[in-house]
């Protein structure tokens, strides 16, 4: 149950990230969240669109796994989120550890102990 709740939270976070990257990247909210300048956002808009698509795929994978009742698929995608958060943290986006990796680690831990 806790695994499912955290998986849903992680999916919602990734839908939000996808919207930020795909639709709001060069808007004030997107620039504020990702701490970018208008110039940088304009230059990297297509890259962010691609990143957002991948974040959308993570959310979709989690939701498909939950709908199908496929715990292995859901756990795999949640594990991918954990790794993505660590990579984000190591590449300078420090909040990725808290927004992605910690919820994913909690979900995987809950699954491991049967919660």
H helix intervals, the chain: 2-22, 28-34, 38-43, 45-68, 71-90, 95-96, 102-112
The predicted pLDDT at position 57 comes to 97
The predicted pLDDT at position 45 comes to 97
CB-neighbour burial class of residue 3 (10 A; exposed 0-12, middle 13-18, buried 19+): buried
Condensed to tens digits (0 to 9), the pLDDT of residues 22-64 reads: 999 999 999 999 999 999 999 999 999 999 999 999 999 999 9
The predicted pLDDT at position 85 comes to 95
**Residue 105 pLDDT class (50, 70, 90 cuts):** very high
User: What are the structure tokens assigned to 32, written together?
Assistant: 């504020």
Any residues with CB less than 8 A from the CB of 22 and at least 6 apart, and which?
48, 49, 52, 53, 56
The predicted pLDDT at position 93 comes to 86
Report the pLDDT averaged over residues 70-86.
97
Spatial contact of 81 and 14, defined as CB atoms under 8 Å apart = yes
pLDDT at 11 over 90: yes
Average pLDDT along the chain:
96
């Amino acid at each position: 149950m806790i695994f499912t709740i955290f998986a849903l939270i992680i999916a919602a976070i990734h839908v939000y990230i996808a919207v930020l990257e795909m639709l709001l990247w060069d808007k004030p909210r997107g620039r504020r969240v990702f701490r970018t300048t208008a110039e940088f956002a304009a230059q990297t808009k297509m890259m962010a669109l691609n990143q957002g698509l991948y974040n959308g795929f993570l959310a979709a994978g989690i939701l498909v796994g939950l709908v199908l009742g496929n715990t292995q698929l859901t756990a795999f995608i949640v594990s991918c989120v954990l790794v993505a958060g660590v990579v984000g943290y190591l590449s300078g986006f420090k909040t990725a550890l808290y927004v992605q990796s910690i919820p994913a680690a909690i979900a995987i831990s809950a699954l491991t102990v049967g919660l």
